[in-house]
Structure 1
Amino acid sequence: MSYSLCKKKQNGKYYLVLAISKGFKKGYGNQIGLGYWEDIKEKYGLSSIEDMKEIAKKVDTSLDKAVAKEEFFKLLKPTSVKTSIQNIGVDLIYKVIKELNLFSALPKSKHKSLEEVLEFFIATRIILPRSYMSQYKNKSDFINDINVKKSSIYNYLDVIFENKNSVLVNLFQKINEFTNRNNKVFHFDNTTVYFESFTREGIRKNGFSKDGKHNEDQVVIAMAVDENGIPIHYKVFPGNTADGKTMLSFVLELQSIYKIKDITIVADRGINNNTNLRFLEQKGIKYIFQKRLDTLSIGMKKFILEDKHYVFRDEMFWKEQIVESIWNKNRFNGKYRKWCVFFSPGKRL
């Protein structure tokens, strides 16, 4: 038996409590109030309630409530164990950032410490992902300390946001300079990022969550990566945007910013719809999309199930078929599509 961390709505905010489960669907008992999430998050530099759930389990359930609450916050406090160790590995990441000349595209700014602060947050988040405020409070953990007021951090983030495309283009060109990256194949996908907040503002909206957080507001992030999984470009959409509706504006922005034309888009079945296919064909953009079997025509299903014309190569059976690209009322648009069917005997259940 152990404590669970629970949250409940109180005065329009999340109130956190330690509680012991009474059993499946029987609720919780022996509750210990901890305080409002926003206050705890700010005080201890946290980014998510998930950060505290494992700590809750460590609190001894036999303790008096007041003592148990004190023990919880003692475990939560980052300075509960003092150390003089500093992370020197961050210096290697600094060298990579310098080599990429990451912020050369930024305009001359009145913020004297702009690049220093941005480099610090990028490097330290790679080593230990935490909120910006938590990184700032624990900056002495790293050899590359920064001397800046906490209130200035968000101003610096505004600068990087306003010049996002310039930074991305500069990074794109630098990686091309240092590697033999294939800039003709882009792997496209969407993900979601949720927010623990009662305030619904801007593009933060309720939608289908890929994190399983269906009660939280979120944003949708579309991203293209190269064949090594290195990001090339991203675009943020309102949280209620469906997967199939992110690609058109994303591809137009991609071509406009990076001045590239001859590309192939690789994506999963969530992006495969007639609107997207029609758009890509009109723009002369090649694509490789997965297709859901339950959406196929009777003729295509028959083609897949027939044993004829399969070829075995690289431990896979495969065959292909050229079909006309059609739109409403079976109108042929002058383009052709290639259906490729793959089957791996080794992956059968």
Structure 2
Amino acid sequence: AEESDFIQEELYKNSNFIHPRNSKILYYDCTNYYFEIEAEDGIKKYGKSKEHRPNPIVTMGLFMDADGIPLAFDIFPGNQNEQLTLKPIEKKVIKDFNCSEFIFCSDAGLGGKSNRFLNSFGNRSYVITYSLKKMKKEERELALLPTQFKVPGSNKLIDLRTLDESDPKVYNTIYYKEYPLVTGDMDETVIIT
């Protein structure tokens, strides 16, 4: 455990000799593990268990590269908010793995303002899932409109209602639209697919 950071760093460096690592897109997520014990012990703390168990847990944060190969991980106390796990691991990835230019991808649970802000500097950016249910009413209505969609590489606007979904080409094409989201704190772009 004391050599975990060094082992991860060396494993990353040496794995590049076998398969070049695609670290331009990094995925991050957290999970937790419970212990069949009754009392807290060390970093095994009572927290919000993903399995809704009443036992002490630890939280694990994991970065994967664009090919889905694990890059770096760390273990945190079970009572720590998972939003706070990103910064220490990301600093390790930037410093020890020399990965400073990437797109950070995560689910909404780890897409808090401070984590988005962290990944809006230098040559980093982010893609975070966004819940339609949590959008403001007017934003949700705009997102659900079937108009103003495009296909990658074209600026032609498409109304989804005019498409024949039984056509395999239409069915297998990705359609998207985007609009600016101006909040005053951070200007962002919402992409609907």
TM-score range, shorter chain: 0.7 to 0.9
Aligned-partner residue type, residue 337 of structure 1: E
Distance, in Å, in 1 between the alignment partners of 2:28 and 2:20 is 20
CA distance in 2 between counterparts of 1:284 and 1:270 reads 23
Give the match's secondary structure for 1:206.
Answer: coil
Higher RCO (C-alpha 8 Å, min separation 6): 2
After the TM superposition, which residues 116-131 of structure 1 pair with which residues of structure 2 at under 5 Å, given as runs?
none
Quote the offset at 1:224 in angstroms: 0.6
Give me the whole-angstrom Cα distance separating, in 1, the residues matched to 2:112 and 2:31.
18
Alpha carbons 2:23, 2:66 under 8 Å: kept = no
Q: 2:9 — aligned with what?
A: 169
Q: Larger C-alpha radius of gyration, 1 or 2?
A: 1
Residue 320 of structure 1 is matched in structure 2 by: 178
Is 1:179 aligned to residue 30 of structure 2? no
Q: Name 1:339's counterpart in structure 2.
A: 190
Q: TM-score when scaled to structure 1? A: 0.46
| Equivalence for 2:136 | 297
2:17 alignment partner AA? E
1:235 aligns with 2:57: no
Aligned-pair distance for 1:282?
4.0
The CA deviation string for residues 69-122 of structure 1, in whole angstroms up to 9 with x for no partner, is xxxxxxxxxxxxxxxxxxxxxxxxxxxxxxxxxxxxxxxxxxxxxxxxxxxxxx
Equivalences, count: 174
Q: Which amino acid counterpart does residue 220 of structure 1 have in structure 2?
A: T
Identity, in percent, stands at 20
Tell me by how many angstroms 1:207 deviates: 1.0
Instruction: Give TM-score scaled by structure 2 length.
Output: 0.80
**Which string of whole-angstrom CA distances, capped at 9 and with x for unpartnered residues, describes residues 323-349 of structure 1?**
44632xxxxx5xx4221101xxxxxxx
> Which residue is equivalent to 2:146?
307
Q: Give the corresponding residue for 1:196.
A: 36
1:311 match: secondary structure: coil
Q: Distance in 1 between matches of 2:10 and 2:30?
A: 23
Residues 82 and 110, structure 2, Cα contact 8 Å, conserved in 1? yes
What is the identity, as a one-letter code, of the residue corresponding to 1:168? Answer: Q
Other structure's SS at 2:68 match:
coil
* Partner SS for 1:291: coil
Match of 2:156 in 1: none
Give the SS at the match of 2:16. helix
Gaps in structure 1 of 5+ consecutive residues: 1-160, 328-332, 343-349
Shift of the alpha carbon at 1:286? 0.9
Q: Who is 1:274 aligned against?
A: 113
The alpha carbon displacement at 1:289 in A equals 0.7
Q: Structure 1 residues 176 and 201, CA, compared in 2 at 3 Å: closer, same or farther?
A: same
* Aligned partners of 2:102 and 2:123 also within 8 Å: no
